[in-house]
Structure 1
Amino acid sequence: MSKRILIVDDAAFMRMMIKDILTKNGYEVVGEAADGAQAVEKYKEHHPDLVTMDITMPEMDGITALKEIKAINPNAKVIMCSAMGQQAMVIDAIQAGAKDFIVKPFQADRVIEAIHKTLS
């Protein structure tokens, strides 16, 4: 059975890029969210195997959403997505329980490597 993934990014283009990489590699995208608040709701609704989470978003940022998801399920697997120059936020995210992070612009092989490593 394919692994179920929730994609969270405020940029529709970025969600589309990740979705394309994932579906081509046999993963099932069960939902998409444009901000952290939506991410938490979609997480409760779909119980995905993994979440890709942008760090900077309107409404609720990725780190706050990560903490809320971890409160719902301490075993949740979340990979953070960040632009260059967000190292301090990446460290906060790892400390909050993120399993890995990928840097934008996305390299397909790095995305798949991070997801495979996190799910194994």
Structure 2
Amino acid sequence: MARILVVDDAAFMRLRLTDILTKGGHEVIGEAENGLEAIEKYAQLKPDLVTMDITMPVMEGIDAVKGIKKIDPNASVIMCSAMGQQQMVLNAIQAGAKDFVVKPFQADRVLDAIKKIV
């Protein structure tokens, strides 16, 4: 079981991910709507893993990954991208993300990605 921080600017996406994660036996310990909030919550909650949306207001997911990696170089982040964001996903992996899942979320793919990392 992992303690997870869910980051997405869309409330319904956070809800969908939280549903998948809790049914998969994980604990969602916090949520954030943008990258800046994600960095603050990461420092505060120290989750085992972060699911990070790429495109968000205030601060993009890639910048947030860099910010989280400054706090904890061993942080585990899984990027969540829409179709057609391959370049951004590549940038996110280079910034330190460990894996990515594509929206709309497939429960088994999300849980497999987490299992590989935790």
Assess same fold via TM > 0.5: yes
Deviations 1:78-102 (A, max 9, x none): 0000000100000000001100000
Specify the alignment match of 1:95 in structure 2.
94
**Scaled by the length of structure 1, what TM-score is found?**
0.97
Task: Write out per-residue CA displacement over residues 41-93 of structure 1, whole angstroms, 9 at most, x where no aligned residue.
Answer: 10011000000000000000000000000000000000000000100000000
Gapped runs of 5+ residues in structure 1? none
What is the aligned-residue RMSD (CA, Å)?
0.5
Which runs of 4 or more aligned residues in structure 1 lie more than 4 Å from their structure 2 counterparts after TM superposition?
A: none
Q: How does 1:1-120 map to 2 (within 5 A)?
A: 2-119=1-118
Give, in angstroms, the shift of residue 31 of structure 1. Answer: 0.2
**Structure 2: 5+ residue stretches without partners:** none
Superposed displacement of residue 25, structure 1: 1.1
Identity of aligned residues (%): 69
Indicate the SS of the match to 1:59.
Answer: coil
Instruction: Write the letter of the residue equivalent to 1:98.
Output: A
Matched residue count? 118
Output the CA distance in 2 between the equivalents of 1:85 and 1:52.
19
